[in-house]
Amino acid sequence: MQQRFCALVLVAAFVAACCAAATSRADDYTIDPVHSGVNFRISHLGLSWVHGRFNDFKGKFVIDAKDAGKCSFELSIKVDSIDTGNAKRDGHLKSGDFFNAKQFPSITFKSTAVTTIKEGYEVTGNFNMHGVEKKITFPLVGGRTAEFPKGTIRTGYSAELVLKRSDFGMDKMLEALSDNVYVAISFEGIKK
């Protein structure tokens, strides 16, 4: 009788553990490019700002509400999709003087560590641009969810960071264009 009771307890514990694992499973999201943006601005001669964006990007992320260490973020941007509103300038930015889009067609980021902060997460990861990979850390704020349209669960985050272009081998025309590039990323993910 006691052996039977112990066996039942073990089975019940196993079922409870499986159910707990299922309910604490992380959520997978795909970035919705229609409701997301990768934008930047850079100072010209210290007089004005040139604004731009990348029109072609994709990404995915995983959110575990109970364990930030199980969260992850990935983003890939097509350099050839750069858009500053001026075709001649965009062509120059794609050339070997700057991004060299033919040799380095993508800018990528993949997180390696995520921790919880007050308004979201602090994300650390490998950022690769112009053939140079560097570890960067930035705050990612947001995390509200919405259902739109009915049956589609969404969540979103935003980040603002400053990158030194010379750190990535883009050191041409530093007398005219600032070394600091201000980047703003905002993305909405659709739950799989």
Q: Is residue 1 part of a domain?
A: no
pLDDT in tens, 136-157: 999 999 999 999 999 999 999 9
Q: Is residue 16 part of a domain?
A: no
Q: Is residue 18 part of a domain?
A: no
What percentage of residues in the chain have a pLDDT greater than 70? 88
> In Å, how far are 109, 137, 146, 174 from 94, measured between CA atoms?
20, 26, 37, 17
Taking 50 as the threshold, does the pLDDT of residue 22 lie above it? no
Q: Is residue 6 part of a domain?
A: no
Under the banding of pLDDT at 50, 70 and 90, the label for residue 24 is: low
Rounded to whole angstroms, how far apart are CA atoms 124 and 135? 7
> How buried is residue 99: exposed, middle or buried, by Cβ count under 10 Å (0-12/13-18/19+)?
buried
> Structural domain tally of the chain?
1
Output the domain CATH number for residue 143: 2.40.128.110
- Residues of the domain holding 85: 26-191
